[in-house]
Amino acid sequence: MAAKVKVMGISGSYGNNSNNTKLVKLGLEILEKMGAETYFWDLNEKPLPLVGEEGSWENKNVAEFQDLATKVNSYLLSSPEYHGCMSGVMKNQLDWIYSKHVSGKAFGLMSTLGGQSNSNTLNQMRIAVRWIHGWAIPEQIAVPNIKNAFDENGMLSDEKLMERLEETMNSLFKSSLMLMNSN
């Protein structure tokens, strides 16, 4: 039987009202409809310590996070842009995964901004992913003006952005399969 695409969703902000969590979950729903199995890492339930904090290397949430990263074959990341950079929360999660967990697997990248769209955060995540030997797909999405980005049904109100999200998820699904078959 063909192996299933399994995707781990990682959000770069905490809290029940996190727009990045909403965006990741929306992406995961689209991937599920394509036949993927999805897992969202909930930082509110299972916070991760800062890398290098006292006792952090033995932390049980870290071990679970790394086990999940090993078990899946692709990742969907979304980070808020803070001062022109990915959030510290996203960077810290990326700092807990290494090539032995993610090498040769596909990554989809998304970001959100209070202001206008740009690629700063996406580019930074792309560099970090390259460093851990992941394969970041070329399609990506930056959601500007995030306070007004979702409609009452939890969809992106800008139709073009919604289409772009679907296209990005489609590419992530296909790229995951391609990489799974070549490993």
Binding site residues, ligand FMN, CB under 6 A:
13, 18-20, 80-84, 112-115, 146
Per-residue CA distances from 179 to 131, 149, 164, 169, 171 (Å): 18, 32, 22, 15, 12
Position of tokens 């202001």?
115
- For ligand FMN, the nearest residue by Cβ is 114
Separation between Cα atoms, residue 98 and residue 104, nearest integer Å: 11
Q: How far is the CB of 111 from ligand FMN (least distance, A)?
A: 8
Q: How far is the CB of 142 from ligand FMN (least distance, A)?
A: 9
Choice between 24 and 179, CB closer to ligand FMN: 24
Beta-carbon contacts of residue 67 (< 8 Å; ≥ 6 apart): none
Comparing CA positions, the residue from 66, 62, 65 lying closest to residue 101 is: 66
Choice between 60 and 83, CB closer to ligand FMN: 83
Choice between 80 and 108, CB closer to ligand FMN: 80
Position of tokens 């022109």?
84
Choice between 40 and 98, CB closer to ligand FMN: 40
Separation between Cα atoms, residue 17 and residue 174, nearest integer Å: 30
Under 8 Å between Cβ of 73 and 105:
yes
Choice between 111 and 176, CB closer to ligand FMN: 111
Q: How far is the CB of 32 from ligand FMN (least distance, A)?
A: 21
Choice between 13 and 73, CB closer to ligand FMN: 13
Both structure tokens of 114? 């209070």
Q: How far is the CB of 135 from ligand FMN (least distance, A)?
A: 25
- Burial tier of 70 (Cβ tally within 10 Å: 0-12, 13-18, 19+): middle
Q: How far is the CB of 25 from ligand FMN (least distance, A)?
A: 12
Q: How far is the CB of 70 from ligand FMN (least distance, A)?
A: 26
